[in-house]
Structure 1
Amino acid sequence: MSFLNQTIFKFYYIFLWTFLQVTLSSCTAIQNSVSPISNSLTSAIENQTNKAFSNAKILVSNLANKSSFNTDLEFALQQYKQSKYEVAEFYLKKSLIKVPDNPTAIKLLPWVYFYQHQYGKALTSFKRTKAFYKKDPKLSIGMGWCYLGLTNYERAIEQFEYAKKHNGDIYQIYKGQGFAHLILKRMPQAKENFSKVYNTSQINEIFNLWSTIQENKPDKLLDILPTRAESLSLFTLPIEFPRYQGLFLGLPKDIEPDINDAWNAFEKGKFKKALYIFKNISIGYHSPDAENGLAWSYLKTKEIKEASKLFKGILQTWPNFIGAIQGLDAIKKIKKIQARHADYYFEVNKLGLAEKKYKEMKNKYPNWEYPHIQLGKVKLARNNFLHAREYFLDALDIAPKNLTAKEGIRAVRKEVDSELFLADLALESGDYKKAALLYADYIKEYEPNASSLISLKNTFHQIRFMDNPWKEYSSKQKPVAPPITFFSQMLDKLGLRDTVLNNARPVIPSRENSLAHAYNGLGWSQYYKKKYLKAATKFEIARSEREYFVDSSKGLGLALYNAGQFKEAANALKIVVKLNPDQLDLAYKLDTSILMSWDATSAREYFSKNLVNYPLRSSLYMGLGWLIYRDRDSDLAIEYFLKAISLDPDFALTSEFKTLLAKKRFGWQVYNKFGWAYYEKHDYENAIIMFQNALKEQPNKSETRKGMGYTLNKIGKLSKSVKYLNQALELNNDPNVVKEIISESSAISPYSATTTVRTTLGNILIKQGKTHEAIALFKDALELRPKLAAAHGGLGWAHLALNQFTQSRTAFKTALKIQPHNYLSFKGLREIKQRIANIKLSQN
């Protein structure tokens, strides 16, 4: 008995590990054919275990499926909070395929549609969800707002009233009813509803706002949600500043009563009381509403640093939340007021006093870019260009996209590097030959001054700084520390970093900085002329200078990448991708460089750890796929390839992937699977290309001809589709079934539909008017699979085409018993009723 327990224990981990690896490949649809992984695993179980293992297999499978579901749902919630609603929608649907009755996913899905301004789709989804949770007032509130968005105001009032009967959120209910009455010009009713949640001043503000809108744009209505073009909406009214609680609808947690009490105190100006309540709200209640209230309470009690920290924390999770954005804007205004004395001294040209005050501000708010910029301007006014440059660079370390700091850098370059102006113009205009000549002439003229730059570059090389990019790679999507800290680490290693106490800056000779400018420009000129190794040597020199470190690192990485020196390319690209994780082209090149140059263990660790923070980056899955392929587990490798393609179909056709693909000879199965991956992404053009490649390898495979038939059907080439589908049946009387995710607008909840070659062929024949042939195919399909909903549904449509209503109704109802979410069968039943009604009308 102990042996059996140990064996089951080992089997548990083997199966769980394999299953979790496979789940990475599930994206837009379930695989169309039986997975090779499943076959090999089943074979292993049959050879090494007995019937006693079947229960363990089911248990582990369920646990693994639950784990995968939880991961998908957690990621969907994360994306929802970040306002990435399309991604959230995708992962919610993926979760519902695995666990169709999960209440969190079911209830959140309609809100995802709602916040995408898809009010019709959201309403339909709310209705479907309400069928399972009839007394949930949140669903009625959601339906009420959807009806408002669809201008059906009476129905909106009804839904809000229904929510009131089931103890729904009073604020949303009375607000929604109030605006519905206001739009219908029922002012007394609107005022009555508003009075339940707003004070007299707020009500007057609403009416004044409404009157202004009607005067200026009589036909315009306020949007429910803010848009890019218009920030004012029913959910972002000025009277809701700074809470905006409507933006948190749909979250799984209910509002804790203490939060409302705290906000009530805040609105009455009792900020210390509000702060006390917010600070004592139950631990673990991580609500952005509560955190926003706490931050604003800190701000109102003049604890600016605490408020700033909280607002930034909110925006890490909710990057578009207007309350936190306005909080940071308010803090900036407070700081600007505090800096007005320094600004005054600067404006009247009292530069010494201005510099003293700005330094005080810099020390008080070290992470605020403004005093750094102003100190740069002071130094610029004194023609102290090098110190001005350092201050502007400090500002860019804090706020990399600050236009004023960038303009300051350009002003410094104009003065210090005036001789390089024409070279820069030539580079920007694409005249790389002229630019290269001008940069080279400048370097030759001042070559003696380049020795310190080259020496610094050689020192970096000798200490092998950043030789292993994994050790320095940030595990977060945004760097925790700004680049200045990173550059300071280099100076620390070289003993060039000055102490914080004296805060003295290294004085860099102007010609040395200009030489870095020239080397960087020459590097890019040579890069664009495809002289990659020559460009790399220039970038290596230029990146030793702080101002050009990031730009030259990018150039160095790209140059070495194109020259095939992947390990060195990875070292250079690391810092660039760290600072710009959203630039996928650079990230793909970094990941490819690591794949091509690192040892398997380090590369696997890198790809696996980065997947946690960048789960949508295709190249990470592709990298793991190639590593697994090298371990001779081609089936599992293909699963990773498919996941990569599902995330970014174009990546499979990039030169990087083609280069790797060309080095390996794949069988028809790989191209076949790639074809189905493209099919599931609705990329039918590339699907056909892959299926054609598979047919070149093996022309007589039914699975590939089935794929061609399915794809051609999708693009409307029915005759060619029939040809390939019939060929598939000739080669194999029963090809594998295809499981597709149905999520059209009429499909309220996404569901997995199983189809076969015969059902697909039958549906095409109905379109071609060959109804009796279609019926024969559907019946053949049912002989093989009596509970195939697609076959019963197909019979329903075939009989309906022949006006055989009884048989058609029976077939549709049978399909719905097997697959309750099948919207095509619902549609068929409605069509039968309509036709019967039309016949009766014509007879009368």
Structure 2
Amino acid sequence: SVFPGSPSQPSPALENAWRLYRKKLFKRSLAVFQGLPGETAHTLDAQNGLAWALLKTGNLTPAEKQFTETLNEHGQFIGTRLGLLEVKKILWEKASVAKHYFDIRKYRIAEKHFNQLNRDYPDWSYPESILGWIALNRGQEGEALDRFETALDKDPRDPTALKGMRHLNGLLVSKLYQADLKMKKGDYKNASYLYFDYIDEHRSSPTVTFALAKAYSGLGFSQIQKMQYRLAIQNFEKIKVRKEYESHWTKGLGLAYYHLGQFEQAAQHLIVADTLLPNKKDIVYKLDWSILRSWQAKTAKDYFLAKAQRKPLRASVYMAIGWLEYQQGDPDLGVEYFLKAISLDPEIAASDDFRSILAKERFGWQVYNHIGWAYYHRRNYPHSIQMFNAALESSPRSSEAMKGLGYSFYQKGQWEEAAAFLQKSIKRNPNTHPVTEKFQGTEPGVEIAMRTSARTKLARALIQKEKYQEALEHLQEALNSHPEWPEVYDGLGWAYLKLNRLAESREAFGQALRYQPLNPFSHEGLKEVQYRLALQTL
């Protein structure tokens, strides 16, 4: 018979392929089917024949794929449906021996057979699922979880793998609890499996129960984490009937629309979510950026100025006002607001929108330096290095950026890089602003603050490089400028100690402790000096 989509004229090559197939010359038939010209190859008759030839030559995975593609392209057709059933039948027959050994708990033999099936048919989820159960029966929960996850990646509805996940995560009544734990741990993939599994088992419910709403909400938020925003919207829409979940669906829809770039809709939902869940950073930042990108400039500015009065510690408000000032032609005022925002939350500088502002050469390097020091004082040295480098790219003569890089590399233990940048900074500007650093004092819970400079930090780096005399020269010069700094005396103490000038070292550490009695480094140095002096008297 002629199938839909067949060319108007019979194809001798196609007829020949089917003739070879009916004579059970399957390999030759396969070769002819694979070599059919384009127009003929895309007909239902040719695609169906190719799938059956693949099946008869033992190419089960390609055959299953071809049957599935044919079914999707040409719709329901008995030949492809029968072909898919035949593939499943053959696969189950091949797995029967392995399954027998699994059923009688001969796990070593079963594992060998299922591993071979896994290699032979890598797209088939069943061998991976059974290997998960073998691991589970051996008490290897971690491997079992990996196996079940891999199986579900191949076939999200694999019943053997889903049953394994249910068994692994406890009883059905605790499924939502287990899913919530997965979400809290950042395991969004497995959380979504558990939420979906619960929904699937309660899909026949005539109403959206409280527990079902919880599952839809959890699934929606896990889909947001997996960037499946439109699917998330569908799930949040389903729980609008539950008033007690209004904070969930307004937040969820707001975040989903935000990530889709539909900022006006995002703002509408996030304003409500911000009222129901006040001061949540993941809500307020997205809300403020959504308003900034969708409202008229004057309306947005009035909103943010009023919000700054009510929420003076909300960094995103100042960032938004700064952005508006920048766009309206007052970049200097914009910078002041940016710096206010960064002082409240240095992480806000990582947003793409803010980076585009910083790229403006006129003031970008100053802001980068400010952010760099904010990161430095939070001990986030990789980010401080990134910011100071950005400042240096915008302003290659910035002594502050050079100093910041020197300080950051010192904290990372990269003495060569630290010394090089600090020397450049001092050469460019011998009198940069001091840096106040905080340390844990000798008394529990007491933090001490000490002022340092590019020169004292350079001396520290030189001591680490065992260049003690050179370090001493920088410290003596620092002493002339800052005779009251405990940092200078502490550095002198260590430099003298390394040069074995013990009396001078003891005097320097003593001076350091007079200015800062809780300095643990000076106490440590003084003990070392006293120990060496005691040895000399023996």
Distance 1:589 1:744 in 2: 40
- Output aligned runs, 1:176-575, within 5 Å: 428-429=192-193, 524=220, 539=236, 543=240, 546=243, 549-575=246-272
Structure 2 counterpart of 1:645, one-letter code: D
Q: Is the 8 A contact 2:339 2:367 kept in 1?
A: no
- Output aligned runs, 1:601-750, within 5 Å: 601-611=302-312, 620-628=314-322, 630-631=324-325, 632=330, 633-646=333-346, 649=347, 651-653=348-350, 657-663=351-357, 665-666=359-360, 667-743=364-440, 749-750=446-447
1:717 shift after superposition: 0.8
Could you say which residue in structure 1 is the equivalent of 2:468? 771
TM-score relative to the length of structure 1: 0.35
- Output aligned runs, 1:35-54, within 5 Å: none
Residue-by-residue CA offset, 1:596-622 (whole Å, 9 max, x unaligned): 4562222233244245xxx6xxxx213
Cα distance change of structure 1 residues 578 and 815 upon mapping to structure 2, 3 Å threshold: same
Could you say which residue in structure 1 is the equivalent of 2:301? 600
Could you say which residue in structure 1 is the equivalent of 2:524? 827
Cα distance change of structure 1 residues 835 and 549 upon mapping to structure 2, 3 Å threshold: same
Structure 2 counterpart SS, 1:739? strand
Structure 2 counterpart of 1:682, one-letter code: R
Structure 2 counterpart of 1:659, one-letter code: D
1:681 shift after superposition: 0.5
Structure 2 counterpart SS, 1:832? helix
Could you say which residue in structure 2 is the equivalent of 1:99? none
Structure 2 counterpart SS, 1:777? helix
Structure 1 counterpart SS, 2:345? helix
Q: Is the 8 A contact 2:442 2:519 kept in 1?
A: no
1:542 shift after superposition: 5.3
Percent identity among equivalent residues? 31
Cα distance change of structure 1 residues 645 and 550 upon mapping to structure 2, 3 Å threshold: closer
Structure 1 counterpart of 2:193, one-letter code: S
Could you say which residue in structure 2 is the equivalent of 1:387? none
Cα distance change of structure 1 residues 535 and 709 upon mapping to structure 2, 3 Å threshold: closer
1:700 shift after superposition: 2.2
1:753 aligns with 2:447: no
1:544 shift after superposition: 5.1
1:703 shift after superposition: 1.0
Distance 1:427 1:710 in 2: 43
Cα distance change of structure 1 residues 575 and 805 upon mapping to structure 2, 3 Å threshold: same
Structure 1 counterpart SS, 2:302? helix
1:766 shift after superposition: 2.0
Cα distance change of structure 1 residues 803 and 663 upon mapping to structure 2, 3 Å threshold: closer
Q: Is the 8 A contact 1:725 1:757 kept in 2?
A: yes
Distance 2:236 2:281 in 1: 22
Distance 1:814 1:538 in 2: 68
Residue-by-residue CA offset, 1:419-462 (whole Å, 9 max, x unaligned): xxxxxxx9943999xx99x99xx9xxxxxxxxxxxxxxxxxxxx
Distance 2:193 2:235 in 1: 20
Q: Is the 8 A contact 1:595 1:623 kept in 2?
A: no
Could you say which residue in structure 2 is the equivalent of 1:83? none
Structure 1 counterpart of 2:306, one-letter code: E
Aligned residue pairs, count: 333
Structure 2 counterpart SS, 1:675? helix
Distance 1:634 1:623 in 2: 12
Structure 1 counterpart of 2:305, one-letter code: R
Residue-by-residue CA offset, 1:390-414 (whole Å, 9 max, x unaligned): xxxxxxxxxxxxxxxx989x9xxxx
Distance 2:528 2:245 in 1: 69
1:668 shift after superposition: 1.0
Cα distance change of structure 1 residues 731 and 579 upon mapping to structure 2, 3 Å threshold: same
Residue-by-residue CA offset, 1:671-701 (whole Å, 9 max, x unaligned): 1111111111011111111111112112221
Q: Structure 1 stretch 629-638 or stretch 766-775: which is displaced more?
A: 629-638
Q: Is the 8 A contact 1:566 1:593 kept in 2?
A: yes
Which structure: larger Rg?
Answer: 2
Could you say which residue in structure 1 is the equivalent of 2:486? 789
Q: Name structure 1 gaps, 5 residues minimum.
A: 1-405, 411-425, 443-509
Distance 1:592 1:745 in 2: 45
Distance 1:669 1:590 in 2: 28
CA RMSD of aligned residues (A): 4.1
Structure 2 counterpart of 1:809, one-letter code: R
TM-score relative to the length of structure 2: 0.53
Distance 2:303 2:529 in 1: 63
Distance 2:354 2:258 in 1: 14
Q: Is the 8 A contact 2:434 2:452 kept in 1?
A: yes
Cα distance change of structure 1 residues 570 and 831 upon mapping to structure 2, 3 Å threshold: same
Q: Is the 8 A contact 1:592 1:623 kept in 2?
A: no
